[in-house]
Structure 1
Amino acid sequence: LSREYITHFEDLSNELTYEIFEFLDYFHVYEAFFNLNQRFHSLLTNSTLPIRINISSISKSTLQRYYADIITSNKHRINLLNLSNLFMYDDRVFPLFHPMSKFHRLETLMLNNIESDCLKNILNQLTSLSFLSSLTISIIDEIRDANPIYYQVFHLPALKYCKLSLKKCFTNEPLLIATVKYSPIEYLILDNNIYVHQLNSFLSYVPHLRRLSFHSLCHSCTDQRKIWKNHLIHLTHLSLEMVSIEFDQFEQLVINLLPSVEVLRISGDAKYIDANRWKQLILSHLPKLRIFDILLEFYIGNDDN
C-alpha cells in the first residue's frame, strides 16, 4: 500500500522558514505572515537575523502600519534600506532616521526621489554608521550647489560604493583640494554634470578609486594642463560621457590621471574620430588598456549644392 505524505509550509523548521524568507521581499513576508498566526508573528518579531527593507509605491496607511509593526522595533536588524516613497522622508509622520545610531548594522542605503534639504539632514547623521559601505542618492529638486553634498559623502568612514544622481545640479565652483582626510570610495558613479576644471579637486578626495563613471563630463574654458596633481593609480575601469570636450582636454586628463586604466568606455562627438591620434595616445599613455569602447555621435548634413 502506498502512503501519501503531505507537507504543509507550517511544518517547516524555523531555520528553513527563515531561509525561504531571505528570497522574498520583506514587506511581502510581513503582509503574508505577520498576522497569520502566533508562530509566524513570533518568527518576524523575535528574530535577530538581518533584514532588507524596500519601500516604494505603497499607500500611506499601509506604510504607517508597516513602520509601526516592523521598522521601529527592528532598526538594529536592517542591513539594507531602499527608499523611494516620498512619505518616508516626512519626519513628522515617520521619524525614521532619529536616532540614526540605531541602524548600526546598515550596510546599504538607497535614497531615491529625495529633496535636497531632507538629504542634507540625513547625511549629517550618516558618519555614525561604521558599516555603511554602499550609498545611492537620487535628488528630485533643483540644487544650486552640490559641493556640500560631495563633502558630506566623502567624509563617510566606510563607504566603498557611491552613486549620485543630482540631475538638476548647476554647480560650477570646484571643491577645495583634499589635503588631510580622504574617502575610502572605490566605485563612484556621478549621474549629473561635472566640469573638467572641477575634476582635479573632486578626484583629490577619492584616491582609492577602482571604477569611475561620469555620465556628463562637460567642457571647461579653464586650462588644466599645469595644475593636474592627482594620479589615480588604482583606477582600472573608466566610463565617460563627454559634452563638448576638446580632444586636447581629454588627452591631458588621460596623460595626467589614468596610468592604470584597463577598461575605457567613452562617448563623444566627431572630434574623437582621429584613429591615428588614438593609436598614439593608447601606445604612449595607456599601457595597461585591454578593453576600449567608443561611441561617437555626429551628424552628416545634406549638401544641396
Structure 2
Amino acid sequence: MQRTKRKENDMVQISNSNKKQKLENQITTINSNKYYLEDLANEILYEIFEYLDVYDIYKGFYNLNNRFQNLAINSNILTKINISTISKSNFEDYYHNILIPNQSQINFLRLSNPFVAEIIFAEAHLILNFIRLETIILDNVRDKNFNKFFDYLICLTTLHAITISFAGHISSLDIIFSLIFRLSTLKYCKIEYQQLLFIDFINYDSSSIEYLIINGRFPFSAFHNLLCCLPKLQHLSINSLVNCDDYRERNQLSSIQLKYLKHVSLKLDVHFDKFEKIIKEFFYHIQILRLTIECDDRYLDAKRWQQLILFHMSYLRIFDINHQGFLREIDLRYRYINKQFYSSFWNEKKWFFIYYYESKRQFNFETFYSTRPYRRKDYMYYTEIDEKPGLHHQRENFKSVKHLYIARKIKPNCRNYFSNVNQLTIGYDVEILDDD
C-alpha cells in the first residue's frame, strides 16, 4: 500500500518537474524572440502610426532619433491633422515642427481649440500654403472670428468640405450662410449653432453644396429660399425645422427643380399644410424621406400621403416617419388612421408602421412610426408594442438602434431585439415585469 502511494507521489513529482521544465523552455524561447522598436521595418511602423493620433506620433516618436523624426515627418498620416486638446505651449512646438513643414500635403484639418485656429489664421500666407486642403472642421468658433477666417478660406481652391460649430451668440446667421455659399468648390457643409436668428436668403447666388446638414433651429419661413440657393443639392438634413410666429413671411425666390436631391431628413415642428407645398415644389426626385414630427395629426393622413407620393414623389423608395403627440381626450380617429396605413398601396411598397396609444395621468400619448426594417439609431420601447405578434418576427431589423429608451415596462426578451445598443435611457416610472 505504501509502495503504491510512493509510486503515485513520484509520478506527480515527475509530472510537475516536466511541466516546470516545459514552462522554462517557453520562457527562454520568449526571451530569445525579444524585439526592440528600432528593429521594426518602416512599413510596420507606418501601420502602427495609422492607429495613433498625429499629435501622439509627434510626442512619442519625433524626438527619439533622426530615423523616427524622418518617419514622423514623411508619414502619410500627417496629411490628416486633428488638433483637439492641446496646450498653447505644446501647440507652438507642434506647429513649427509638424504643421509648417507639412502644410503643402495636409488635406484634412480639424481645429477644436479657438486659440489654435487664431494662430493658424493669424497671417494670410500661412493658411494659403495649405494648397491641398480639402476638409476643414472648426469647433467652438466665435462669430467675429469666422468672418476673419473666411477671407482666407475663400482662397483655398481645393476646399470641398467644411464643418463649423459656433460657440456663444451669433450676430447674424444670415451673413454666415451668405459667406459659406461663396465658397465655389464646396460640396459638403455641416453647421451647428444654438440660437435661432434672422435668416433671409433673398439676394444669394447659387451654391455648389451637394450635402448640407444643419444642426440648430431653422425657421421654416426661410426654408423655401434656402432650397432655391442649392441647385446641386443631393442630401439634406435639418434637426429642427420650426414654424416661428416672430418671423414674417419672406419674399420668395422663384422655385427651381432639385433634380439631384435624393435624400431628405427633417425634424419638423411645422403645419402639414405648409410642408406639403415644399414637397410639391422641390421633392419630386427624392428617393429617401425621413421625418420626425410632433403634434400636428394631419401628418397621419394616409390618403393624403398616398396622393403626394403618387404625383409628387414617384421615385420614393424609403418612407420613414416618426410622429408623436399629446391629446387631452381619447380620440377614436387614431384607430381609423392607423388602419389607413395598412391598405394595398403601403403593403405593395413594403412600408409598414406601428401605432401606439397610452393614457398617462391627464394626458393621452400617441406615437406612430415606420418599421420593417427599423432604420433609426434611437428607439422608444413599449411592452404593448413588444407584444404585437408582427414585431416578434422583425428582431433582426433593430440592429441600427444605438440608443434605447425604455418608456414603461421591461420584459426579458427586450435585450434580444437590440444587439447593438450602446446607450440606454430608462423612464422614471418603469415597471420591471420579470426577474431579469
TM-score, with structure 1 as normaliser? 0.87
Is 1:74 the counterpart of 2:99 in the alignment? no
Q: Which amino acid counterpart does residue 30 of structure 1 have in structure 2?
A: Y
Does the CA-based 8 Å contact 1:177-1:201 persist in structure 2? no
Is 1:183 the counterpart of 2:207 in the alignment? yes
Instruction: State which of 130, 136, 156 in structure 1 corresponds to 2:183.
Output: 156
1:296 aligns with 323
Instruction: State which of 26, 35, 57 in structure 1 corresponds to 2:54.
Output: 26
Does the CA-based 8 Å contact 1:208-1:234 persist in structure 2? yes
Is 1:52 the counterpart of 2:80 in the alignment? yes
Does the CA-based 8 Å contact 1:200-1:230 persist in structure 2? no
1:35 aligns with 63
Q: CA deviation at 1:71?
A: 1.5
Q: CA deviation at 1:273?
A: 2.0
1:248 aligns with 273
Residue correspondence of structure 1 range 96-111 to structure 2 within 5 A: 98-111=125-138
Offset from partner CA, 1:73-109 (integer Å, 9 cap, x none):
2222211111111221334x98376532111111110
Offset from partner CA, 1:168-207 (integer Å, 9 cap, x none):
24114333253xxx32211100112322331233222221
- 2:107 aligns to what SS in structure 1? strand
- 1:185 aligns to what SS in structure 2? coil
Residue correspondence of structure 1 range 139-288 to structure 2 within 5 A: 139-178=166-205, 182-219=206-243, 229-243=255-269, 245-271=270-296, 272-288=299-315
State the distance in 2 between where 1:123 and 1:223 align: 30
Q: CA deviation at 1:225?
A: 11
Does the CA-based 8 Å contact 1:100-1:128 persist in structure 2? no
State the distance in 2 between where 1:75 and 1:21 align: 19
State the distance in 1 between where 2:292 and 2:260 align: 23
Offset from partner CA, 1:278-303 (integer Å, 9 cap, x none):
22222221101111111212113327
RMSD across aligned positions (CA):
2.7
State the distance in 2 between where 1:287 and 1:79 align: 40
Aligned in 2, Cα 1:267/1:61: closer, same or farther, shift over 3 Å? same
Offset from partner CA, 1:42-89 (integer Å, 9 cap, x none):
222356775211111222222222223212222222111111112213
- Residue identity over aligned pairs, in percent, reads 35
- 1:278 aligns to what SS in structure 2? helix
- Which segment is superposed worse, 270-279 or 184-193? 270-279
Q: Give the length in aligned residue pairs.
A: 298
Q: CA deviation at 1:223?
A: 6.4
State the distance in 2 between where 1:291 and 1:19 align: 40
Q: Which amino acid counterpart does residue 200 of structure 2 have in structure 1?
A: E
Q: Which fold has the larger relative contact order, with Cα–Cα distance below 8 Å and residues 6 or more apart in sequence?
A: 1
Q: Mark the structure with the bigger radius of gyration.
A: 2
Does the CA-based 8 Å contact 2:292-2:323 persist in structure 1? yes
2:37 aligns with 9
Does the CA-based 8 Å contact 1:51-1:79 persist in structure 2? yes
Q: Which amino acid counterpart does residue 17 of structure 1 have in structure 2?
A: L
More helix per residue: 2
Aligned in 2, Cα 1:96/1:11: closer, same or farther, shift over 3 Å? farther
Q: CA deviation at 1:6?
A: 4.6
Aligned in 2, Cα 1:117/1:158: closer, same or farther, shift over 3 Å? same
TM-score, with structure 2 as normaliser? 0.62
State the distance in 2 between where 1:97 and 1:32 align: 31
Aligned in 2, Cα 1:7/1:264: closer, same or farther, shift over 3 Å? same
- 2:128 aligns to what SS in structure 1? helix
- Which segment is superposed worse, 256-265 or 38-47? 38-47
- 2:94 aligns to what SS in structure 1? helix
State the distance in 1 between where 2:292 and 2:250 align: 21
Does the CA-based 8 Å contact 1:176-1:201 persist in structure 2? no
Q: Which amino acid counterpart does residue 205 of structure 1 have in structure 2?
A: C
Structure 1 residue runs without a partner (length 5+): none
State the distance in 2 between where 1:94 and 1:124 align: 10
State the distance in 2 between where 1:227 and 1:128 align: 29
State the distance in 1 between where 2:196 and 2:244 align: 16
Aligned in 2, Cα 1:76/1:186: closer, same or farther, shift over 3 Å? same
Does the CA-based 8 Å contact 2:54-2:77 persist in structure 1? no
2:404 aligns with none
2:148 aligns with 121
